[in-house]
Chain A
Amino acid sequence: MTSERIERISGRALPLRGDNIDTDRIIPARFLRAVSFEGLEQHLFADDRAQAEAAPAGSHPLSDTRYAGATILVVNANFGCGSSREHAPQAIRRRGFHALLGESFSEIFFGNALALGMPCASAPAADIDRILRDVEGDPDLVLRLDLREQVATLGDHACPISLPRAAREAFLDGSWDATGLLLERFEDVERVAATLPYVAGWTD
């Protein structure tokens, strides 16, 4: 396989609360005006951060020095919904995160993160809630995600995690960068294309 095998990820966590956090919030569209992904990490949650800082008692977790150096983003439900922009997981990855743990993820976001080798693992809402609270209480706790054993641990708390079966397998066997795999048997691609009437040109 062409890509790195990913079985276990551990590091400090950054808690980011809220359901339905869309990709426009993760990376506002004005920062997509570029021909590369370089530098996107500077604009991660740009508007949310600015608004949090303008609020009287506010601080966005990304601007909170207690979480500096965190490598796992912990989120709630339907994270990454909306626009398919890969700029969103790219900005997260380039900011130094290697994985996400949350209640659930939008499908396109999940697929984009998979293509970058950045697992998005799901856990039950009650466990996420506890992990968020524990990390907020002690940002130095180390969160461990084990994709093979399908378990997350934080301090003395352990909970089950899940990923769609094939995606999990792709991380474990290092096939998450799919292009090489898709080109492996190109004659099969040509054979299937030829069976499609709209490719073949509507011949009898």
Chain B
Amino acid sequence: MPQTLLQKTWTAHTVRRLPNGQTQVFVGLHLIHEVTSPQAFDMLRARGWSVKFPERTIATVDHIVPTRDQRRPFGDLMAEDMLAALERNCRAAGIRLLDLSSGSQGIVHVIGPELGLTQPGMTIACGDSHTSTHGAFGALAFGIGTSQVRDVLASQCLAMEPLKVRRIDVRGRLGPGVYAKDVILEIIRRLGVNGGVGYAYEYAGEAIERMSMDERMTVCNMSIEGGARVGYVNPDDTTFDYLRGRQCAPQGEAFERAVAWWRTMRSDPGAAYEDEVAIDAGAIRPTVTWGINPGQSVYVDERLPKPSDAAPADRAALDEALEFMGWHAGDPISGTRIDVAFVGSCTNARLSDLREAARVVRGHRVAPHVRALVVPGSQAVRMAAEREGLDRVFRDAGFDWRGAGCSMCLAMNQDRLEGREICASSSNRNFKGRQGSPTGRTLLMSPAMVAAAAVAGEVVDVRAFSRHDE
């Protein structure tokens, strides 16, 4: 019987059916970081358990690292404590830690793929909701909480309930100036921020197949913003070409054997889905969020919604968002003055994201009233960008060029909004307070759109921006 990738991966990793009806699932790759793991190690110690498969866990530090001055000990003592705890725990358990001196440090969802740790057909868990990113490789990857981090450390397993699969067919091709970020924002706007609860999203169709791995990661990354804990793309030659030669990918003949297995780990033609949705790629335009959840977005040439036009059940949410943001219903989003421009995060801080932003910025200056920063997703991205001279392009334009980390996506470090600042951001969440100021405001968009906004000093359509320039 034809099966989906999810079913195949689930079956291959099932240890047993638990008496309560949950499934015990083996976790092939466990990624940890400094925020959600220290309490798990404490729980483990309190119960006298050890880490069963230390070689299947990889650690890095990303959320709390300063991006400006990364010398140890950090000026921020709490950040220093958190990293020191991670170092102690990893050393004691024999877990590999990719720290700031490794050359491989970075946001956990950037470095897993970059090192070739993330592979098709795997189960991948991490105490971080954006673990769905790794689904771009055809892995079954999902975020977990700290008690579950404890479970994985202790047993390399999780107790889970099966997921349904919704196939999202993105048909046709994207227009110029329209990116993977716009695709996922479109999906979330259409299906809702909780439309994916209980589902894994399988992204398919010509637009997805034509995407690079970086772009597929952007789409899968934000699955959770649509309520789906898991999002994946069936692996293909683009996937295998990306993995070939990566440090932790199989090498030589083993790589060919791996490809042979990976080719079997995809949804079969005729597989049954619990739901199917089609989206016309050609109709998607550059998208900007205007509200306080990632589903509240408009195309850059659209106006803000009017609560009076909405269904009665939706009005309170629209009113709340408009009030928090300080907008007037029906106003255009284009022309909204910004204070901060942030290119970074596990959603959009890979080399191709930086290239697209640099292409827009080249030869321009950041508007005088805008504070702009580029935070590469990893040390490797930073070095590759510097080899291409992208750092120079950004610095010349007036951007800060920083060290790798989560930075202003969630402001657990020094990078944050102040007061009512408005930030054009390539990150993934526009929740109230997300970027560090309880009253700060976030507009999510593609890195190219952030770059254009930085230069213009306001929200602009990157398509018109580029044309105007040439």
Contacts and interface: CB of A to CB of B under 8 A. Distances in A.
Contacts, number: 208
Contact of A32 (B24, B194, B227, B412): B412
A81 to B, nearest CB: 6
A85 B35 CA distance: 9
A112 B127 CA distance: 11
Interface in B252-288: 254, 257-258, 261
Nearest to B85: A35
Contacts of A192: 13-15, 26
A141 interface: no
Contact of A33 (B79, B147, B194, B429): B79
Interface string B313-339: 000010010000000000000000000
Contacts of B79: 33
A112 B128 CA distance: 12
B150 to A, nearest CB: 6
A25 interface: yes
Contacts of B127: 84, 86
A47 B432 contact: yes
Nearest to A165: B21
B128 A84 contact: yes
A31 B420 CA distance: 20
A116 interface: yes
Contact of A20 (B85, B145, B293): B293
B147 A34 contact: no
Contact of B16 (A37, A48, A185, A198): A185
B197 A166 contact: no
A179 B250 contact: no
28 contacts: A19-B317, A20-B293, A25-B431, A30-B436, A33-B78, A33-B412, A34-B78, A51-B438, A81-B227, A82-B225, A84-B36, A84-B128, A84-B143, A86-B146, A111-B145, A115-B148, A166-B22, A178-B22, A178-B159, A179-B47, A181-B159, A182-B24, A182-B158, A183-B49, A189-B155, A198-B258, A199-B28, A201-B254
Interface in B192-210: 193-194, 197-198
A47 B434 CA distance: 11
A36 B41 CA distance: 10
A65 interface: no
Interface string B330-368: 000000000000000000000000000000000000000
B42 A36 contact: yes
A29 B411 contact: yes
A33 B65 CA distance: 11
A83 interface: yes
A56 interface: no
A55 to B, nearest CB: 10
B239 interface: no
Contacts of A34: 78, 82
Leading 9 A-B pairs by shortest Cβ distance: A112-B145, A86-B145, A115-B147, A166-B21, A78-B194, A47-B438, A84-B143, A182-B155, A202-B254
Interface string A182-194: 1101101100110
A24 B20 contact: no
Contacts of A78: 193-194, 197, 227
Contacts of B81: 35
A28 interface: yes
Given A107-B227, A182-B151, A182-B155, 12 more contacts: A24-B434, A84-B127, A84-B131, A107-B229, A108-B224, A169-B20, A175-B18, A175-B19, A178-B22, A192-B15, A198-B122, A198-B250
A106 B225 CA distance: 10
A6 to B, nearest CB: 12
Interface string A66-87: 0000000000011001111110
B198 A107 contact: yes
A186 B155 contact: yes
B48 to A, nearest CB: 12
Contact of A166 (B20, B78, B293): B20
Interface string A88-112: 0100000000000000101110011
A22 B317 CA distance: 13
A204 interface: yes
A36 B250 CA distance: 38
Interface residues of A, number: 64
A137 interface: no
A173 interface: yes
Nearest to A170: B20
A84 B144 contact: yes
Contacts of B85: 35
B13 A30 contact: no
A196 B15 CA distance: 12
A198 B119 contact: yes
A182 B53 CA distance: 14
Nearest to A110: B197
B317 A20 contact: yes
B412 A179 contact: no
Interface in B28-47: 28, 35-36, 38-39, 42, 47
Interface string B122-166: 100001110100000000000111111011001111110100000
Contacts of A82: 129, 224-225, 429, 431
A33 B64 contact: yes
B12 interface: yes
